[in-house]
Structure 1
């Protein structure tokens, strides 16, 4: 662990500051959009737009890196992020924010890909798993820190938008100043057709699509739900913070269970638990403690499911196909994330703030039912070789990060 910190501390510090900026703009736009009298549909489109940009960048950013290099891509995209963050309060129009969110989603994905390939190069085969764990802690820590910065500032003012712009600008200094003259080589990932992925693991593909909508609801619509439900800014801060803290704390025990039991059973149980608690929050609106518990349980089950589904799919693939499969699964997850805010926004228009929990409950219960059905349809599905080891891949990781992380076979 100390070796990883010594070799990658500057990059990890930069990512921490970047995630504060991203965590701020995710929650902040929901709160500010309400103050600007945006409709639920308009806010939903704004939130979905981020994932459109993210999806495009997952395909295009590697091409840019191979063409002009890591440092130039890192610097160019970072400067755009900083400028866009200041643009939001200057032009508070839904269509401007939507276009800005497409651009900032593209930029953040490009920055993640660049930084994660640097991190992968700084780590060795022996400590790459530890590097991934640190990266996950840094990402979650940055998002949680962002929520508390929101509670200390005026959402109606300009300063709260300037702060993330400054932090993003500062985040590149340690990473760029510590970069060596020879940045890592960036190879193309051999694609794996989506049809082939579905044939290998229908459960992993369906699960990643459904989880995309859950992540998008948590990341983009939690603040909108909190405002519509009458929560104060500090209560919304607690809600979002608990979502990510629970995700961080639950990764490792769930990862251990994943390596010692039938992963389909674990997928079913986690989905049913998250969906059941969300359903309880839907039918019993009002109590703050139930809202906070529901946020924590959904965060603590949905985020580990992300890595669990990737590990499950890898159990049925040859080693040389695992990188492409991870990238393909994250692409499917991105498609679900684009749809998520739109569906949640439509449901909140139809039935009020509680529509937020209705969609999350419905999606997670649907995943649990599908996992149960797959166990009945293919009770003895053969694993290729040995089971792969669970890796705690964060939900905000890019496709390149997932494809470059360790995919070791677990020897029974």
Structure 2
């Protein structure tokens, strides 16, 4: 692991600072928007805008990279992110924040695509899986550290927004000054949605539902915490628990995934996440329960993303895996765009606890649909023989990171077929 870090230290340090900046802006906008009197609907639109920009970027950034190169795209998007972050406290209007979030989502996706393709190029067959794991840990650590910064600052002022902008600006220095050249870039075609559904209805359904869960966690957690009466420090602790839970649970679930029928694990993980959400839905005034539920939902939903991806790949030819990963990202993105809008409406109609009911319904729906699918498709010895290895993939990953995971799947399969 140390060898992996030293080999790509510039990328990992830069990504850590980027995630600090991204984690800061997600929490800050929810808290500051509430202070400025933005309605729940307005905040949900603002939060959805990030995922809209992210989805468009996954389609158009590869073309930008092919036209002008990695370095120019990387630098330009970093400048835009920094400029938008520092403009938020100046333009205190929902429409301005919505436009800013679209730009931020577009640029962050572009930065991830560039960084992840560089990570893939810098990794060897022996280190690719470890590099992806370190990359995911760095991302989670950056978001958690951002929550600590929020808890120490004044949401009503400018300082935290300036820190966010500075962190993003500094993040590009180690990467752009690195001696390693940027790799050649190529992307695969996406698979049609109907083909994705035919290959794995459970994975397709689950990816869409998880998009809503992730959007609620990343976009609406601060809004929920503020409305339920938590202090800024408590909100930061609550959001940190979501990502710490994801980090802690990822590897035990991955270990189990390679040893039992993945459908049982998908169903179990989804139901545990749904029950964890219901605990906070029924017990709304206990901070310990809120934090516990956040850790459980975060700890179940993030590994579930990688589980569903691995499960779908069990039924795909190697040549189709990369195309399918791009299609799943699109399906997940559609769910993410709708997520904040629906959860915001539920919080208005049902009350603040609608936040937890939303995530509970989505997680339980995944588990319930998994049970149904087990009655429609029986697993055979052939399926078990073609099962790929579980590889941790962040929910914020782009098509490039998922393709890195696919290379790990294929390499691991080759090692089993042709042991040294």
TM more than 0.5: yes
Greater alpha carbon shift after TM alignment, 397-406 vs 348-357: 397-406
Structure 1 unaligned residues grouped into runs of 5+: none
2:153 maps to 153
What is the rounded CA distance, in whole Å, between the counterparts of 2:282 and 2:2 in structure 1? 48
2:409 maps to 407
What is the rounded CA distance, in whole Å, between the counterparts of 1:4 and 1:68 in structure 2? 29
1:59 maps to 59
What is the rounded CA distance, in whole Å, between the counterparts of 1:193 and 1:278 in structure 2? 33
Is the aligned partner of 1:133 residue 2:133? Answer: yes
Greater alpha carbon shift after TM alignment, 75-84 vs 171-180: 171-180
Greater alpha carbon shift after TM alignment, 201-210 vs 272-281: 272-281
What is the rounded CA distance, in whole Å, between the counterparts of 2:314 and 2:80 in structure 1? 40
Greater alpha carbon shift after TM alignment, 189-198 vs 382-391: 382-391
Residue aligned with 2:397, SS:
coil
1:385 Cα deviation after fit: 5.3
Aligned residues of 1:331 and 1:399 also touching (Cα < 8 A): no
Aligned residues of 2:258 and 2:389 also touching (Cα < 8 A): yes
1:16 maps to 16
2:211 maps to 212
Aligned residues of 1:318 and 1:384 also touching (Cα < 8 A): no
1:2 Cα deviation after fit: 2.8
Is the aligned partner of 1:331 residue 2:333? Answer: no
Structure 2 unaligned residues grouped into runs of 5+: none
1:249 maps to 248
1:35 Cα deviation after fit: 0.5
Residue aligned with 1:407, SS:
helix
What is the rounded CA distance, in whole Å, between the counterparts of 2:361 and 2:385 in structure 1? 35
Residue aligned with 1:90, SS:
coil
2:310 maps to 311
1:351 Cα deviation after fit: 1.6
What is the rounded CA distance, in whole Å, between the counterparts of 2:72 and 2:179 in structure 1? 12
What is the rounded CA distance, in whole Å, between the counterparts of 2:207 and 2:149 in structure 1? 31
Aligned residues of 1:239 and 1:291 also touching (Cα < 8 A): yes
Q: TM-score, normalised by structure 1?
A: 0.98
1:300 Cα deviation after fit: 0.3
Aligned residues of 1:228 and 1:352 also touching (Cα < 8 A): no
Aligned residues of 1:324 and 1:403 also touching (Cα < 8 A): no
1:183 maps to 182
What is the rounded CA distance, in whole Å, between the counterparts of 2:134 and 2:283 in structure 1? 38
What is the rounded CA distance, in whole Å, between the counterparts of 1:118 and 1:19 in structure 2? 17
* Equivalent pairs, count: 411
Deviation string for 1:202-242 (max 9, x for gaps)? Answer: 00000000000000000010011111111111111111001
Residue aligned with 1:188, SS:
coil
What is the rounded CA distance, in whole Å, between the counterparts of 1:238 and 1:86 in structure 2? 24
1:404 Cα deviation after fit: 2.6
Deviation string for 1:302-329 (max 9, x for gaps)? Answer: 0000000000000001111111111111
Is the alpha carbon distance of 1:65 and 1:385 closer, same or farther for their aligned partners in structure 2, counting shifts above 3 Å? farther
Q: Which aligned pairs between 1:200-279 and structure 2 lie closer than 5 A?
A: 200-279=199-278
1:123 maps to 123
